[in-house]
Amino acid sequence: MSFFIAGTGRAMPEKIVTNDDLAKFLDTSDEWIFTRTGIRRRRVLTHERLDDLAVASARAALADAGTAGADVDLILCATMRGDTYTPSLACTVAEAVGATCPAFDLNAACVGVLYCMEVADSFIAAGKAETVLIVSAEAMSKLLDWTDRASCVLFGDGSGAMVVKKGEGRLAGVLSTKPDSHVIRMPNFEGLNSPYNAVEQEKQAMHMDGGEVYKFAVNAMGSRIEDVCARAGLTPADIDWYLPHQANIRIIDASLKKFKIDKSKVLTNIADYGNMSATSVMVLLDEFAKKGTFRKGDKLLFVAFGAGLTSGAEIVAWQR
205 binds ligand ACO (CB under 6 A): no
Binding-site member from 210, 259, 287, 293 for ligand ACO (CB under 6 A): 210
User: What Å distances lie between residue 303 and 135, 219, 223, 257, CA to CA?
Assistant: 17, 12, 10, 14
C-alpha dist (Å) from residue 27 to 20, 206, 221? 11, 19, 31
* Interaction between residue 277 and ligand ACO (CB under 6 A): yes
Of 144, 193, 136, the residue nearest 162 (C-alpha): 136
H helix or E strand, kind and range, residue 15: strand 15-18
- The answer to whether 135 and 283 have CB atoms below 8 angstroms apart is no
Which residue's CB is nearer to ligand ACO, number 21 or number 130? 21
CB of 264 to ligand ACO, least distance (A): 24
Catalytic (active-site) positions: 110, 245, 275
Residue 247 touches ligand ACO, criterion: CB under 6 A: yes
Residue among 72 and 206 whose Cβ is closer to ligand ACO: 206
Q: Does 79 bind ligand ACO (CB under 6 A)?
A: no
How many chain residues touch ligand ACO (CB under 6 A)? 24
Number of Cβ within a 10 Å radius of residue 306: 29
What count of residues does the chain have? 320
> Could you say which residues in the range 101-160 bind ligand ACO, by CB under 6 A?
109-110, 149-150, 153-154
Which of 4, 18, 36, 293 touches ligand ACO (CB under 6 A)? 36
AA letter at 179: P
CB of 277 to ligand ACO, least distance (A): 5
Strand partners, 14: none
The answer to whether 270 touches 308, Cβ cutoff 8 Å, is: no
Stretch that binds ligand ACO, among 117-125, 204-212, 227-235, 263-271 (CB under 6 A): 204-212
Query: Cα(218)–Cα(270) distance, rounded to whole angstroms?
Result: 17
Give CA–CA dist 233/220, Å, rounded: 20
| 275 near ligand ACO, rule: CB under 6 A | yes
Question: Candidates 33-41, 84-92, 97-105, 125-133 — which segment interacts with ligand ACO by CB under 6 A?
Answer: 33-41
Site membership for ligand ACO, residue 70 (CB under 6 A): no
Question: CA–CA separation, 19 vs 34, rounded Å?
Answer: 8
CA angle 84/121/103 to nearest 5° reads 25
**Comparing C-alpha atoms, which of 15, 24, 18 is closest to residue 46?**
15
Binds ligand ACO by CB under 6 A, chosen from 57, 248, 279, 311: 248
184 contributes a contact to ligand ACO by CB under 6 A: yes
Interacting residue ranges for ligand ACO, rule: CB under 6 A? 28, 32-33, 36-37, 109-110, 149-150, 153-154, 184, 208, 210-211, 213-214, 217, 247-248, 275, 277, 306-307
